Structure 1
């Protein structure tokens, strides 16, 4: 299951994953950690991402993979006081002023020798005008630390199957919103930026209840020599605090 060592490394197997916007809520707090939840309430989510070179099919080792997403109520750390029930009219990085120094549901991991990173988090909620999603950035490094970082190769968003999301949104931590989540097909960025190629494979962790949580996994194909069109190097330098 998603074991990249068992598949012949050919370009036909791993397509280049589509990039999507980084959005206004990006930060770079330089948090290297597997568990990013910081006690946030919500349905548990264990996330495994395999990063492969789309040109060769080989694992991309020592890449720094950052993820960030909203909490069960739709709020992002750093912007906790922004009303998630009101649709934001801007999407550029830094276009919405930060409100706090919280860091929940953000963090990065370096890929292992199989190109894999693992995160423990919660199933994200949503904010007005969007489907449920997780942001991801892949940075190519010269080794397993920030000081040897070379460039940002890929920025994207990961989406969830509708059946799983509907079950999650019925849970106590997610109910009682003034607006409804969009379906994937109603989401502008999903529809216009290749979202159908970025849906996570999602399975329940327990047999009897969704409250036990979910396991989500996918493979992301990147061009290790490319420079992302969705985020600039200075964005990572600027939004570190």
Structure 2
């Protein structure tokens, strides 16, 4: 080989986003919808997620992106009667019996030609022992339509920046709790599972008031051939509606 010839290694266009646990409040409500708020109280959050193939940098099209998170008071739909001010020492899917059939703050969207999904929701609150976060699962298409997607390629959690969260937690809908939220740095999963790389970029929609809500966005790099260890395809049937 000519000594003047430089050798460069091919690097992924995007880093793989770190996987995180699905948590005990996963279920599949079979709801494909952009607005998941269902009129719940809280400060509005417009969320844009871009899913890309970390190996090629190309958008992942026709994938299903499911998200779920707690409301302003820390409750998850399906588990609305679980006390969010009392820490629960379980993290596995199905570890906590459901208490209701509510579906607020849950739903999925199919990625477009640019790999983008958009959600209208509310800024999440928190429950005891955790920082503010949003759960995400990405299913890759296996048939002619994204709704045929069964291959769970990635499961993660998205975190909120401290500056925005402090403002939100002072709002009426979020305040007056018996416990305090953990900061991101105090959260075990943030610290040990790459939470910094999963923190949303968040901006206030209005310069005048945070009451008008926030816009959050993030690019998520996945390996489309990977098989998530957190949620199996059969879980979407087992923990449904």
TM-score, length-normalised on structure 1?
Answer: 0.94
Give a deviation string over 1:152-206, Cα, whole Å, max 9, x none: 0000000011000000000000000000000000000000111111000000000
Secondary structure of the 1:173 match is coil
Query: What corresponds to 1:7 in structure 2?
Result: none
What is the correspondence of 1:31-50 to structure 2 with a 5 Å cutoff? 31-50=31-50
Q: How much does 1:11 deviate?
A: 4.7
In the alignment, what sits opposite 1:81? 81
Decide whether the 8 Å contact of 1:22 with 1:155 is kept in 2: yes
In the alignment, what sits opposite 2:18? 18
Partner residue in 1 for 2:4:
none
Rounded Cα–Cα distance in structure 2 between residues aligned with 1:13 and 1:178: 45
What is the rounded CA distance, in whole Å, between the counterparts of 2:197 and 2:59 in structure 1? 19
1:6 is matched with: none
Q: What's the TM-score, normalizing by structure 2? A: 0.94
Tell whether the 8 Å contact from 1:62 to 1:143 is kept in structure 2 after alignment: no
Contact 2:13 2:55 in 1 (8 A): no
Counterpart of 1:183? 183
- What is the correspondence of 1:90-101 to structure 2 with a 5 Å cutoff? 90-101=90-101
Partner of 1:66: 66
Structure-2 change in CA distance of 1:232 and 1:212 (3 Å) = same
Gaps of at least 5 residues in structure 1 are 1-9
Corresponding residue of 2:202: 202
Given that 1:110 and 1:144 are in contact with CA atoms closer than 8 Å, whether structure 2 keeps it comes out as no
- Relative to structure 1, the CA distance from residue 143 to residue 51 in structure 2 (aligned partners, 3 Å threshold; closer, same or farther) is farther
Question: Partners in 1 of 2:146 and 2:201 — Cα distance?
Answer: 29
Query: Following TM superposition, where does structure 1 have runs of at least 4 consecutive aligned residues deviating by more than 6 angstroms?
Result: none
- For residues 18-72 of structure 1, give each alpha carbon's deviation from its aligned partner in whole angstroms, at most 9, with x where no partner exists: 0000000001011000000000000000000000000100000000000000000
In structure 2, C-alpha distance between the alignment counterparts of 1:11 and 1:34, rounded to whole Å: 34
Is 1:170 the counterpart of 2:164? The answer is: no
Q: 1:11 to 1:213 in 2, by over 3 A?
A: farther
The answer to whether the 8 Å contact 1:143/1:149 transfers is no
Matches of 2:116 and 2:165 in 1, distance apart? 24
Name the CA distance, whole Å, in 2 between partners of 1:145 and 1:157. Answer: 22
Aligned-residue offset at 1:12:
3.9
Q: Distance in 2 between matches of 1:192 and 1:204?
A: 29
> Which of the pair has more CA radius of gyration?
2
CA distance in structure 1 between the aligned counterparts of 2:68 and 2:106, rounded to whole angstroms: 4
User: Cα RMSD between the aligned structures?
Assistant: 1.0
Cα distance between partner residues in 2 of 1:180 and 1:74: 11
Task: Count matched residues.
Answer: 231
Matches of 1:82 and 1:232, distance apart in 2: 25
Matches within 5 A, 1:217-228: 217-228=217-228
Counterpart position of 2:7: none
* 1:150 positional shift: 3.5
Offset at 1:229? 1.4
Give the corresponding residue for 2:116.
116
